[in-house]
Structure 1
């Protein structure tokens, strides 16, 4: 039975029969086609997709998929060698870290910050540029819901195909709130949305400062712009260009570092490894048309803008040709991209045949 709530006006109980996209895959007994995360006694994870009559093999025995199908979430199963596995549906964070990748993904710790600090709300109209493998798109779609709208822009069609496959695989269907546009944001955004109708903009790209004019035109007054950048030079450039634009509030920037803890009796201590720097987030609000931002009361440090201190921009920042290698991104081979794109196409064709 679906969840129920009480109507405060009538006092009657109502079934939540109209399930949001993907919700049916998150609850109930395991069924064929479901993704299941198996955890062994040493904490090692294995993610499988259940198939009637299928088998899961390791160097320490095997187990039948049919022994899992029909079991409730949070069950255990024992393989032929007596090894017991805990069975759980993978969370969104688990899926993101294990899904096929064309480009580097936005880590869950940063996706959570973006959804919260950009105030992504149900029904919002959101623009995302730099789809990559679709990791952030899934978090944004969950936040806006079926009644919202997410316009995702990606320059590379092969990356867009991989992202579409990952998002469709996670939600179990095409998400009604999502529209993917292949092309450059500066050229495509004015053709896609009306001026002053976008609530939030999320930029995950090499040079977000190049898009500030079209983003400002698209945002509603008070709308939020949040940029995800990898290096301090990118962070400095986008913050200064936000100030120079004149249509945004004073930018705010931060990064998040996540350190796990070892929990074993009295041996409670920080883990030796941690999720350190992945990227910087910088955010600003759109001012109303014609409004000039208040003058900054705090003066910059002497020399912050070069030796002359006259606000001149560093030539290295203004003339540099930006590419992924410059900011430390490991390039993905074209062979790998073609392989993942073929796999995504085959999976989509199989889904269409099944339908």
Structure 2
């Protein structure tokens, strides 16, 4: 099923995921199967009542409750898909794609694939992705999530420690979501194509500072660290105010470009 990668149009079909939205804006991610039903605390919705409908249609559940039916966005899938590790939030995924300047045809080495959220964003941007992951259970979850959302995709996951080296270069981008990315920096220098970009996602500023020091030592240039804070607003008639809850700090994004070749790393 390649609806996420290619952009599916037309009636909803068995085998694809849909988003059901109730009257209170609660969202449910459902994989359509003929003869099955989606159960909620307020009754159920027959999948057969959804199959064949167009996105944007409404269906009624067994208790008369209305549901809006849509094809999910990548952000919907990331927040609701099966997880092995904590996923990167959609607000950070978009920033990562821009900071790493990921585009069609690029070769990307991703280390720490977790549940596959970042992998899906990279693949949707048109990249070819090779993933390194230490845990077999995380790797399997990531591969299943990618296959369910994108179908056949240029994606391979290897069980190995990226801190011990990177094979198969040159890569246009190296993207890291792991606790000690500074161990990877010397290998990334060798694996990246000239001018390639290294990007790492880290939860704490202490880790980020250690990474930036390693990037400086190994000649990365145009280094930058940023975080993304997302605040939604409540707008209803004359009631206009920031929402009481927001997704604030989730992680620091640090990027840098491979600089000119050096005979020896600079002194820290």
Q: Same fold per TM (> 0.5)? A: yes
* Higher relative helix content: 1
- CA distance in 2: counterparts of 1:21 and 1:124, whole angstroms: 21
* 1:25 Cα deviation after fit: 6.2
Q: Give the match's secondary structure for 1:249.
A: strand
User: How far is the alpha carbon of 1:186 from its aligned partner?
Assistant: 3.2
Q: 1:63 to 1:158 in 2, by over 3 A?
A: closer
Q: 2:184 aligns with which of 192, 205, 211?
A: 211
Q: Is the 8 A contact 2:2 2:149 kept in 1?
A: no
2:251 is the counterpart of 1:279: yes
Higher-Rg member (1/2): 1
Structure 1 equivalent of residue 211 of structure 2: 238
SS at structure 1 position matched to 2:67: strand
Q: Which residues of structure 1 form unaligned runs of 5+?
A: 1-18, 296-310, 313-355
Q: 2:134 aligns with which of 119, 138, 155?
A: 155
Q: Is the 1:25–1:34 Cα contact (8 Å) retained in structure 2?
A: no
2:152 to 169, 174, 188: 174
How far 1:250 sits from its partner (Å)? 4.4
Distance 1:249 1:64 in 2: 56
Q: CA deviation at 1:45?
A: 1.6
Q: Give TM-score, length-normalised by structure 2.
A: 0.93
- Aligned residues: CA RMSD: 2.2
How far residue 184 of structure 1 moved from its aligned partner, in angstroms, is 0.7
Structure 2, unmatched stretches of 5+, are none
Q: 1:262 to 1:77 in 2, by over 3 A?
A: same
Q: Deviations over 1:270-329 (max 9, x none)?
A: 100000110001111101223999x9xxxxxxxxxxxxxxx98xxxxxxxxxxxxxxxxx
Q: CA deviation at 1:60?
A: 2.3
Structure 2 residue 88 is matched with structure 1 residue 106? yes
1:199 corresponds to = 172
1:72 — aligned with what? 54
Q: Whole-Å Cα distance in 2 between the matches of residues 265 and 256 of structure 1?
A: 29
Partners of 2:104 and 2:195 in 1: CA distance: 17
Secondary structure in 1 matching 2:13: coil
- Normalised to the residue count of structure 1, the TM-score between the two structures is 0.71
Counterparts of 1:11-160 in structure 2 under 5 Å? Answer: 22-23=4-5, 26-143=8-125, 145=126, 148-160=127-139
Measured in 1, the distance between the counterparts of 2:108 and 2:40 equals 43
Alpha carbons of structure 1 residues 21 and 47: separation in structure 2 relative to 1, 3 Å: closer
CA deviations over 1:171-210 (Å, ceiling 9, x no partner)? 1x231x1111110113351xx313xx21111111101011
Residue pair 1:77, 1:84 contacting (<8 A) in 2 also: yes
Alpha-carbon distance in 2 for matches of 1:230, 1:80: 44
Alpha-carbon separation, structure 2, partners of 1:270 and 1:221: 44
Q: In the comparison of the two structures, how many residue pairs are matched?
A: 268
Task: Supply the distance in 2 between the matched residues of 1:291 and 1:253 (Cα, whole angstroms).
Answer: 27
Confirm or deny that 1:229 pairs with 2:202: yes
Could you tell me how far 1:93 is from its partner in structure 2?
0.6
Distance 1:250 1:95, change over 3 A: same
